Chain A
Amino acid sequence: MLKHLIITLLLLLACTPSLHAQNTYNFDRGVEEFNNGHYEAAMQLFAKELQRNDEDPGSWFYIAAIYDRNDFLGAALTAVNNCIKYAAPKQHETLAMAHHLRSTLYRQLGDSAAELSDLDQAVRHTPKSADFLRFRGDYFYEHEDYDRSDDDFNKILSIEKDNAYAMIALARNAEARKQYDKSVEWCTRALRADPEMSAAAHMFRSDGYMGMKDYDNAAADLIAAIDNGGGRQIIDRINTLADTAFTPLATRLQEKVVTDPENENWLYALGMVAIHSGHPAEALPQLEKAAHGGDDSFINGMLARCLCDVGDLDRAISVKRLSIERDSTTATDTYGLAGMLKLAELNDEAMEAINHYIDREPDDGDAYTLRADIHRQAGRIEQAIDDYTAAIVLLEPDDDSAHDRYFRGVLLDAQGQQAAARDDWQYIADNYATQRVAALANQRLGHTDQALQIIDSLMNKNESNADRRRTLWTAASLNALLHNHQQAIHLLRQACQCGFIAPALLRHDPDLAGLHGNPDFEQIIESQKHPHENTTTTH
């Protein structure tokens, strides 16, 4: 929505003179106010202009744009229809812009056919315009009509031979068809054509290399994308690469941290990769160095997270507290602190922190989940059930509530409310069928075969370290529920080898209740108390 609005505004700036048959004060002032972002004032001026001349297409167009900006699509549609109705047939630029605007309205209304029809009209009115061809080309890409998308972008290149966007779009289309070599080729051309588009070109080329399983080059391109100002949206792509090629990626990132210490994106990327892949220790030395004496909340936050993931809870909590002292306005720090305090089994302090967070963000469903977990850990069952219920209400239907449903079911079952508990587990089985928690829910429902099937499927998946740890832990829980204690212990040991699991989580996990008192289980808990003291990094 934002992207199309920006494009519309830029087009408006370019085409304003053509939108209006003759300049009038109201119209010109209206345009000025519109460009300054004073939409209410602009609206009034365009309305005045229409009182003078109710068939002015320019005024109708701007009114439509203002309504669109405020999400009143119906009123925008009515206004842009008037623009199209009153524009003279030869006002091609005006009509192209109006049809384009209307296409964006139909897009938002979910009417693809009407959207395309208007895009066609926009192109028809201005066949030499790269902009409208681009919009249509993107439409075809989104609708997986790659041939027609290619046609449009090739047309752009025939008009503007160095149009890097078109080249990248063709690369994107090729990648969608799994023609990775072609994709790489187009991106290489884009890099030569327009250095301004380097970040995007490198990013898409890395996709191509990923498809070709050339992970070294994929990593190199992603690094180059970040180097060229790619920002956090590219960094988030790195996690995908890290799942299959952690070591080469981590090595390159560590090099960049040393050679380009001013650009904190490298530390962010390294931290993200390390945590995502389940190798938090890899990022620690650099994060410690960067954080030392500094008050960068982002670096401190990443450091705290890595410390937590290696099991050094005391230091993690200390770093987090320091971060909050320096800047108490960042609510998410309080949330993070509450989570760490919970892991350290400092329930009262955890409760204080999460209550503080909920005061500021009362509609964050995940916060009620965390508070419910703290209540559960502290043995406050009724409060835990209430908070799981609040979390479920706030998270569903758009966000994942499986954790809440599962544990609420467990607590309700313990209180003798079997029917309600079964409802919760059945909800998980129906809506989160392939997730780890579905295995446990199925087991609780007595569907052991189904539970085992889910676990087997997950165990055969190629997973990151962090995901593998979770899968092994779930498998251990399932075996504990099935009273296969020896197997449960074995799997739990394997899980702990993949990464730190807080003793509090193990001790309070209701699925592992059957292992309480087992000396091997106690030994595993003991081993997790200070695992960071034995942690080594791979440089």
Chain B
Amino acid sequence: MKYRIIATLLVMAVAIAGYAKDVKRPDSYNFKRGVELYGDDDYDQAIEYFNKELAENPKNGYATLYLGMIAADQGRNGEAITFAQEAIKRIPKKDKEYVSYAYLVLASVYSNIDNNAEAERNYTQAIALNPDNPNNYAHRAAYYEGLEQWDKAKADYRRVADLEPGSERGYMGMAGIAMQQERWDEAAERYDYVLKLTPTYGPALVGRAKARTALKHYNEASDDIIAALEQNARGAFSAMGQLADSALTPISIKLRVRAAKEPNNVMWLNTEGLLYDYVNQPRKAIEKFEASLAKEDNPSVNERLASCYMDIGDGKHALEHINKAFEADTTDMNTLSTRSDIYEMMGDFDAAIADANTAIEHEPDWPYFYIKRGNIKYYHLADYQGALDDFNTALTISPDNMSAHFMAGRLLWDMDRRDEAREHFQRVVELDTVPDNSFEHDHFIYTFLGQPDKSRQLLADMVPTHKNDPHELYDDACAYALLGDEQQALDVLQQAFECGLRSLVHVSHDPDLASLHDTERFKTLMAHYTDVLAAELQTGQAADDDAYEEQIVEIPFTTEGKVCKVKCTINGLPLHFIFDTGASQVSMSNVEATFMLKNDYLSSRDVVGKANYLTANGDISEGTVINLRDVNFGGLTLSNVQASIVRNQVAPLLLGQSVLSKLGKIEIDNTRHVLKITHRVKKQNK
């Protein structure tokens, strides 16, 4: 809220100005310019000006302190310490604020280099000099938190809260400590208080959602997550995932209700889609993403849909959507990478390789695409040397890339170069140092390193937690197969199929399952799920084919200069729009929009989005987004089209290509002055 920003700045101005009243601080040009550049993060220039200042005034402790701060920001810890110590000597003693700050800088640097004794001493000194500055306590509290000295940290955050009772900071600190100690009730209470201070404070909404999830107050946690999503709060999606892991129902219902309450805001449909994607329910995710696309074209949604269709084995629709995503941005190699995966899934390895080649041409320094190409060559084309070259290239670019090491090891194992393979696997083990984020193929690696019991132990712990995830179960099945545990491997593979695994081409070519390929049960499973997939796809395709047919509609246009003008009606009001192939969306002038509002062609419910406000006298302001319920031309109707309002009074109604393309394929016939739209209509029942 802008009120907050204005007032916060005012409060700071008051505080600083008040303090500076008794002390003369430098006001030379060089010093002030240096401070300005520091504020803009232009460190090189700032250093230059501070050095100029010191050349003229060598005893300027303030400039020295700023140099110390820059050194600290840049990780030059030794220099930072030297500058800060010098600053303490030079800054006038009565300027306790700045001397205190110098001690704070020292404390931070010592903390960074793990010299805890000095860090604590300097924090304490900073506080002693300026005991009413909440920042000092806040910094020390964070330091104590890092050392897990919870009581000390809490005491400092309490002091922060006492010194600035209207600020979230102290209470958030105490809440964070309660979370770390898993005192969920206390944490929730603290977050409650923060949200009373500032109802829209995103981090508190996310924190309280997590605390409430831990307390199994799932309905309330869902409310918090929705509020956090509304605020675009960081961590909101992660908190949603955590909640969904425990209780999918409440959050999915609340999202559904929210989507119904705000039908013009596709964010809720997209969030539902992401939720279902996260919990491995791709069909439900598809339903939501398709509904979102029907309202608003979005390449990210197309990309998500492609991924979901891939999950259910529907290559045709996956390709359709990834192509739309790629059309929107042909420089996005990640999209191309996904398309390569789709081609691979469909068995079109040439196309898969072609896309990987293109990605590599555009991004030759990304190891990821070499690994992808190498996998295709290895799994499907038996081009072992080609694959090895790709994995080695990836390792040349990124020598610590665990995936590249793993794949190189795997391939070398199959090439019977076991010693080299083991070296790669050993390297993965050495690199895998993050305890809570282990490498995804640990349960394979120990098998290859001759420690099958370790692999089995990992699997025994992991498999029960993967019960609804077909991809994780598939990996587990592969791991069992490599261990030679045939029965276990087939059981888990069947489970993966039952959970929705449909990448049959990959399964049939995966060298990890080579030991199972000749078993009757494997053959039976593959045959059965080939039929299942065919039936599933048949149902979807038949539904499409039975219901729809293509029609061509021609709509006349006039030209004025270089623009095409087409007659239309919007919510019943006759207008002309400019067909703009360059524009992606819809825009109209605020004059037009205000006219529509005042004459009931629009209502206040049609004003949507974050910029949704009307001025006090009922006008619509620039930046507002409105929903046009019915845009009709030539008998064709677009429903719920979102339009941005521009201030320019003579700005025409612009309809972009991507909006019109929702109707179908658009062609411009300049000879006959018609727009030809090829679209699908529902067949009439005879």
A393 touching B219, Cβ below 8 Å: yes
- Residue among A70, A363, A393 making CB contact with B3, cutoff 8 Å: A70
* Cβ–Cβ < 8 Å partners of A396 in chain B: 219
A63 touching B253, Cβ below 8 Å: no
A77 touching B3, Cβ below 8 Å: no
B199 touching A43, Cβ below 8 Å: no
Docked complex: B211-242 residues within 8 A CB-CB of A = 217, 219-220, 222
B55 at the A interface (CB under 8 A): no
Which of B1, B10, B196, B219 is the most central at the interface, judged by chain A CB atoms within 10 Å of its CB?
A: B10
Bound Cα distance A390, B166 (Å): 38
Q: Which of B254-262, B338-346, B644-652 contacts A (4 or more CB under 8 A)?
A: B254-262
Which of B8, B14, B166, B217 is the most central at the interface, judged by chain A CB atoms within 10 Å of its CB?
A: B166
Q: Which of A48-56, A343-351, A372-380 contacts B (4 or more CB under 8 A)?
A: A48-56
A298 at the B interface (CB under 8 A): no
Bound Cα distance A72, B616 (Å): 22
Contact A81:B166 (CB < 8 A) given known A54-B10, A67-B3: yes
The smallest C-beta distance from B81 to any residue of chain A, in angstroms, reads 35
Bound Cα distance A40, B6 (Å): 11
Bound Cα distance A389, B257 (Å): 13
B79 at the A interface (CB under 8 A): no
B249 at the A interface (CB under 8 A): yes
**A59's closest neighbor in chain B, by CB?**
B10
* Cβ–Cβ < 8 Å partners of B8 in chain A: 75
B165 at the A interface (CB under 8 A): yes
Docked complex: A64-93 residues within 8 A CB-CB of B = 66-67, 70-79, 81-82
A178 at the B interface (CB under 8 A): no
B166 touching A76, Cβ below 8 Å: yes
Docked complex: B1-31 residues within 8 A CB-CB of A = 1-4, 6-8, 10-11, 13-14, 17
The smallest C-beta distance from A103 to any residue of chain B, in angstroms, reads 14
* Cβ–Cβ < 8 Å partners of B220 in chain A: 397
**A358's closest neighbor in chain B, by CB?**
B260
Bound Cα distance A421, B220 (Å): 23
B386 at the A interface (CB under 8 A): no
A109-149 to B contact mask, C-beta < 8 Å, 1/0: 11000000000000000000000000000000000000000
* Cβ–Cβ < 8 Å partners of B487 in chain A: none
A55 touching B3, Cβ below 8 Å: no
The smallest C-beta distance from B621 to any residue of chain A, in angstroms, reads 12
* Cβ–Cβ < 8 Å partners of B10 in chain A: 47, 50-51, 54
Main secondary structure on A side of the interface with B? helix
B314 at the A interface (CB under 8 A): no
Bound Cα distance A78, B261 (Å): 36
The smallest C-beta distance from B483 to any residue of chain A, in angstroms, reads 36
- Residue among B6, B167, B222 making CB contact with A74, cutoff 8 Å: B167
B198 touching A72, Cβ below 8 Å: yes
A78 touching B193, Cβ below 8 Å: no
B165 touching A75, Cβ below 8 Å: no
* Cβ–Cβ < 8 Å partners of B128 in chain A: none
- Residue among A71, A358, A393 making CB contact with B253, cutoff 8 Å: A393
**B171's closest neighbor in chain A, by CB?**
A74
B3 touching A72, Cβ below 8 Å: yes
Bound Cα distance A323, B1 (Å): 43
B405-424 to A contact mask, C-beta < 8 Å, 1/0: 00000000000000000000
Contact A394:B7 (CB < 8 A) given known A72-B199, A74-B167: no
The smallest C-beta distance from A146 to any residue of chain B, in angstroms, reads 29
Bound Cα distance A54, B257 (Å): 47
B168 at the A interface (CB under 8 A): yes
The smallest C-beta distance from B284 to any residue of chain A, in angstroms, reads 14
**A77's closest neighbor in chain B, by CB?**
B166
**B260's closest neighbor in chain A, by CB?**
A362
Contact A72:B4 (CB < 8 A) given known A78-B167, A393-B249: yes
A47 touching B7, Cβ below 8 Å: yes
A72 touching B1, Cβ below 8 Å: yes
B250 at the A interface (CB under 8 A): yes
A44 at the B interface (CB under 8 A): yes
A38 at the B interface (CB under 8 A): yes
* Cβ–Cβ < 8 Å partners of A108 in chain B: 196
A359 at the B interface (CB under 8 A): yes
**B250's closest neighbor in chain A, by CB?**
A393
B118 at the A interface (CB under 8 A): no
The smallest C-beta distance from A377 to any residue of chain B, in angstroms, reads 22
A363 touching B166, Cβ below 8 Å: no
B6 touching A47, Cβ below 8 Å: yes
Bound Cα distance A390, B253 (Å): 6
The smallest C-beta distance from B498 to any residue of chain A, in angstroms, reads 20
B253 touching A73, Cβ below 8 Å: no
B253 touching A75, Cβ below 8 Å: no
B197 at the A interface (CB under 8 A): yes
A44 touching B257, Cβ below 8 Å: no
* Cβ–Cβ < 8 Å partners of B606 in chain A: none
Contact A110:B3 (CB < 8 A) given known A82-B11, A393-B219, A394-B253: no
Bound Cα distance A20, B260 (Å): 49
B164 touching A389, Cβ below 8 Å: no
* Cβ–Cβ < 8 Å partners of A359 in chain B: 260
The smallest C-beta distance from B184 to any residue of chain A, in angstroms, reads 16
A362 touching B166, Cβ below 8 Å: no
A77 touching B165, Cβ below 8 Å: yes
Docked complex: A349-363 residues within 8 A CB-CB of B = 358-359, 362-363
Bound Cα distance A82, B261 (Å): 41
* Cβ–Cβ < 8 Å partners of A79 in chain B: 7, 166
**B17's closest neighbor in chain A, by CB?**
A54
- Residue among A44, A54, A71, A362 making CB contact with B199, cutoff 8 Å: A71
Contact A78:B217 (CB < 8 A) given known A43-B3, A71-B199, A363-B257: no
B250-272 to A contact mask, C-beta < 8 Å, 1/0: 10011001101100000000000
Bound Cα distance A110, B197 (Å): 11
Which of A38, A74, A363, A389 is the most central at the interface, judged by chain B CB atoms within 10 Å of its CB?
A: A74
**A85's closest neighbor in chain B, by CB?**
B14
The smallest C-beta distance from B296 to any residue of chain A, in angstroms, reads 20
The smallest C-beta distance from B628 to any residue of chain A, in angstroms, reads 20
* Cβ–Cβ < 8 Å partners of A72 in chain B: 1, 3-4, 197-199
Bound Cα distance A73, B1 (Å): 13
B3 touching A74, Cβ below 8 Å: no
Contact A78:B1 (CB < 8 A) given known A72-B199, A389-B253: no
B196 touching A109, Cβ below 8 Å: yes
Bound Cα distance A506, B258 (Å): 36
* Cβ–Cβ < 8 Å partners of A40 in chain B: 2-3
* Cβ–Cβ < 8 Å partners of B197 in chain A: 72-75, 77, 109
B3 touching A75, Cβ below 8 Å: yes
Closest 5 CB pairs of A and B: A74-B197, A78-B166, A77-B166, A362-B260, A74-B166
A43-B3, A75-B4, A396-B219 known; 14 other A-B pairs, CB under 8 Å?
Answer: A63-B7, A72-B1, A73-B166, A73-B196, A73-B197, A74-B168, A74-B196, A75-B166, A75-B197, A77-B165, A109-B196, A390-B253, A397-B217, A397-B219
* Selected A-B contacts with CB under 8 Å, 12 pairs: A47-B6, A77-B166, A77-B197, A78-B7, A78-B167, A358-B260, A359-B260, A362-B260, A363-B258, A393-B219, A393-B222, A397-B217
Interface residues of A (CB under 8 A from B): 38, 40, 43-44, 47, 50-51, 54-55, 63, 66-67, 70-79, 81-82, 108-110, 358-359, 362-363, 389-390, 393-394, 396-397
